[in-house]
Amino acid sequence: MQDYIINTFYTVKNIDHNYWSDLQCTNNVYFSPEFLWAYEKSNPDVTFRYIVVTNNKNKAISLANIQIIKIGIDTILKNIKITKGLKKTIDFFLCKNELRIMFCGNVFLSGEHGIFIKDGLNKQKIFESLVKGVRALIKQTSPLDAIFVKDFYQESRSIMDDLIDYGYSAMPVEPNMILTLDPAWKCYNDYKSALKSKYRIKVNKADKTSINLTSKRFTESDFSKYKIQLQQLYQNTIDNADFNAQILNLDTYIELRRIFKENFIVVAYFKEDQLVGFLSALKTNNHLDAHFIGLDYKLNKPYAIYPRILNDYIRIGIDYQVSQINFGRTASEIKSTIGAHPEQLMCYIRHKNRAINGLLKPFFGMVKIKDFKKHKAFKTKKEA
């Protein structure tokens, strides 16, 4: 019988170099030590932990990425369909305005960035070892209110649903909005030609309304120069968002740009000399992943800053000839109007206290995500 050993690290810097070679996970930048260190180094208010599972030959076979943060209950419930009675019940059991939560996954990004298991192995058995590692870490962590294992696509649920046997409840979250790019699109006009007329009018209007904005690709020196303004624009977006667990320190961007060079993209938007918005994205393999944005909401409508940002993500994706753009969560309907489709995500949650968790489980099962109108932006074959 294969024995697995659970190793817990308090910083990514202490993970043995040989473990990364064993895992062969660094071709996925979200599990590379450089990417993880950029977030750990730049966000001292977050507690970072890492679990590495090794076999009896001390070869690493799995990695879990964990953060512990404080978060308000209202933030958690903001984008969830919930009755007043259910909210009162949850408030009663949790008895506080702020919780300390352990996240398994990247709390700053949406997607499967929390657990890596090496291919060709018994993933079910290895996952059980990871769960034991998380349980041990939970016992060592105080204070702690809840555990949140985040962002799994449908194909992962055959393994992840085992968490239900450990007292977790499956809970849906907002989907990632994905735009699949046609390889035949060699320029932005090719993309626009594929849109139905009314959606093409929308993207053209966004470009026309934002014509007086000047855009600039930022370098590390630009990040340092405009850091205060960037952080404020990002804070505007956080304040306007339906859900965001943790505020990112934008020093992270300086690190990501240094590590990933031209594959980490920040485009800033200026109205004359005033910084009014920005987008950020990471090209990884053949995908473009949208990261955080920021904008001045007072100027958003007259200058169509946000629609312009969405259009520019598509321009960047076509320039880089990626196969898909992950726009992330939030603003699902407007992303649907530019051709993105939802990919459902599931999370798993439990309260640390077994008794309270048992009382809350029925209510977790009642959680529903707010629906949105789904658009079919592209011409059908007949229309084309």
Q: 206-265 pLDDT, tens per residue?
A: 999 999 999 999 988 898 899 999 999 999 988 876 655 678 999 999 999 999 999 999
pLDDT at position 345, please? 94
Cβ within 8 Å of residue 375, ≥6 positions away = 199, 333, 336, 337
pLDDT at position 80, please? 52
**Mean pLDDT, rounded, of the chain:** 91
pLDDT value at 86 more than 80: no
Taking residues 153-168, what's their average pLDDT? 92
pTM (whole model) above 0.85 = yes
pLDDT value at 381 more than 90: no
pLDDT at position 1, please? 46
User: Could you identify the residue written with the tokens 């949850």?
Assistant: 90
Taking residues 308-323, what's their average pLDDT? 98
pLDDT at position 106, please? 93
Taking residues 165-173, what's their average pLDDT? 93
From CA 229, how far away is CA 193, in angstroms rounded? 36
| Percentage with pLDDT > 70 across the chain | 91
Cβ within 8 Å of residue 149, ≥6 positions away = 103, 104, 105, 114, 115, 134, 160, 163, 168, 347, 348, 349
pLDDT at position 370, please? 81
Residue 269: strand, helix, or coil: strand
pLDDT at position 2, please? 64
19-23, 31-35, 219-223, 366-370: least confidently modelled range: 366-370
Q: Which CATH architecture describes the domain 182-322?
A: 3-Layer(aba) Sandwich (3.40)
pLDDT at position 342, please? 96
- What's the CATH code, domain 5-173+345-369? 3.40.630.30
From CA 249, how far away is CA 359, in angstroms rounded? 36
C-alpha 348 chain-centroid distance: 15
pLDDT at position 74, please? 58
Higher-pLDDT residue of 364, 179: 179
pLDDT value at 73 more than 90: no
| Percentage with pLDDT > 90 across the chain | 77
CA angle 86, 174, 363 (to 5 degrees): 20
Residue range(s) occupied by CATH 3.40.630.30 in the chain: 5-173+345-369, 182-322
Note whether 2 and 55 are within 8 A (CB). yes
Strand spans (E) along 5-46: 5-9
Taking residues 295-314, what's their average pLDDT? 97
pLDDT at position 90, please? 61
